[in-house]
């Protein structure tokens, strides 16, 4: 017997999609903002601040740090990644410690693109095809 999808489940799914699209749109508005550790404004932004403020503006409160964002997500395989998922990286000396987070903006069969705040470029869009980011990638997670 197949289960039917309820109207409530459809509404929740649509609401989640809208939240994700809105969060991505808000994050994109910060493109070019310089990096600032602990920052969450257009005067300076760090990676988790970008995620936090973008989802907050979209109506969802999410944790503030990379590690707390990781802990709040449902782990997903890279093959299952979708727009709006979070990607976690280890960019420091400890190659197993999450210290960077990014928001997936686009997924195609050939590429995963994400927006994040980096020390060198500020808020920018990157690709997992870039050797640096591929080498630092640890895991992915879904908030909703």
Q: Classify the C-alpha dihedral 82-28-21-56 as positive or negative.
A: positive
The reply to whether 72 falls in a domain is yes
The reply to whether 2 falls in a domain is no
The reply to whether 1 falls in a domain is no
CATH number of the domain that residue 125 is part of? 3.90.1720.10
Distances (CA, A) of 128 to 21, 59, 112, 115, 141: 20, 28, 6, 11, 15
Asked if 128 and 143 touch (Cβ cutoff 8 Å), the reply is: no
Provide the annotated active-site residues: 47, 100, 116
The reply to whether 71 falls in a domain is yes
Query: Which pLDDT belongs to residue 1?
Result: 45
The reply to whether 43 falls in a domain is yes
Mean pLDDT of 15-42: 93
Structure tokens given for 114: 């994400």
Query: Which pLDDT belongs to residue 109?
Result: 97
The reply to whether 102 falls in a domain is yes
DSSP H/E element including 142: strand 137-142
Using one digit for the tens of pLDDT, what is the confidence trace for 64-108?
Answer: 999 999 999 999 999 999 999 999 999 999 989 999 999 999 999
Query: Which pLDDT belongs to residue 35?
Result: 99
Instruction: Look up the domain containing 102 and give its range.
Output: 7-142
pLDDT, the chain, mean: 93
Q: Which residue has the tokens 């503006």?
A: 57
The reply to whether 56 falls in a domain is yes
Asked if 98 and 67 touch (Cβ cutoff 8 Å), the reply is: yes
Q: Please tell me the pTM assigned to this model.
A: 0.89
The reply to whether 12 falls in a domain is yes
Least confident of 12-16, 54-58, 82-86: 12-16
Mean pLDDT of 110-131: 98
Q: Classify the C-alpha dihedral 81-88-47-32 as positive or negative.
A: negative
**Cα 72–chain centre separation:** 12
Query: Which pLDDT belongs to residue 9?
Result: 61
Total domains in the chain come to 1
């Amino acid at each position: 017997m197949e289960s039917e999808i309820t109207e409530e489940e459809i509404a929740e799914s649509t609401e989640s999609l809208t939240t994700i699209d809105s969060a991505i749109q808000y994050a994109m508005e910060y493109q070019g903002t310089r990096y600032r550790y602990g920052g969450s404004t257009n005067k300076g932004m760090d990676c988790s601040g970008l995620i936090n403020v973008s989802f907050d503006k979209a109506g969802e409160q999410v944790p503030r740090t990379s590690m707390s964002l990781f802990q709040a997500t449902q782990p997903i395989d890279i093959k299952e990644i979708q727009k709006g998922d979070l990607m976690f990286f280890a960019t420091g000396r400890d190659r197993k410690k999450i210290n960077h987070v990014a928001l997936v903006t686009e997924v195609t069969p050939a590429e995963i693109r994400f927006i994040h705040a980096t020390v060198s470029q500020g808020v920018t869009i990157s690709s997992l095809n870039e050797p640096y980011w591929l080498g630092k990638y640890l895991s992915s997670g879904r908030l909703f």
